[in-house]
Amino acid sequence: MDIRKVKKLIEMLESSNLNEIEIKEGEESVKLVKSGSIATQTTVPQIPVEKSMETSLENQQKNDIKNDLPADSPRVAGGKEIKSPMVGTFYGAPNPGADTFVKVGDKVNEGDVLCIIEAMKMMNEVKADFSGTILEIVPEDAEPVEFGQTLFIID
Comparing C-alpha atoms, which of 44, 37, 41, 33 is closest to residue 1? 41
31-75 confidence digits (pLDDT tens): 878 764 444 444 444 444 444 444 455 555 555 555 454 444 444
What is the mean pLDDT of the segment spanning 105-114?
Answer: 95
Alpha-helical (H) ranges within 1-155 are: 3-15, 49-66
Is this model's pTM higher than 0.75 or not?
Answer: no
Burial class (CB in 10 A: 0-12, 13-18, 19+), 25: exposed
Alpha-carbon gap, residue 99 to 84, rounded angstroms: 21
Lowest-confidence segment of 50-54, 78-82, 95-99 by average pLDDT = 50-54
Domains of the chain and any CATH numbers: 3-41 (no CATH), 49-154 (2.40.50.100)
Instruction: Please determine, for residue 121, whether its predicted confidence score (pLDDT) is greater than 80.
Output: yes
Query: What sign results for the dihedral spanned by CA atoms 50, 125, 151, 13?
Result: positive
What is the mean pLDDT of the segment spanning 79-89?
Answer: 93
Instruction: Please determine, for residue 112, whether its predicted confidence score (pLDDT) is greater than 70.
Output: yes
Cα-only R_g, the chain: 17
What phi and psi, each to the nearest 5 degrees, are found at residue 25? -135, 100
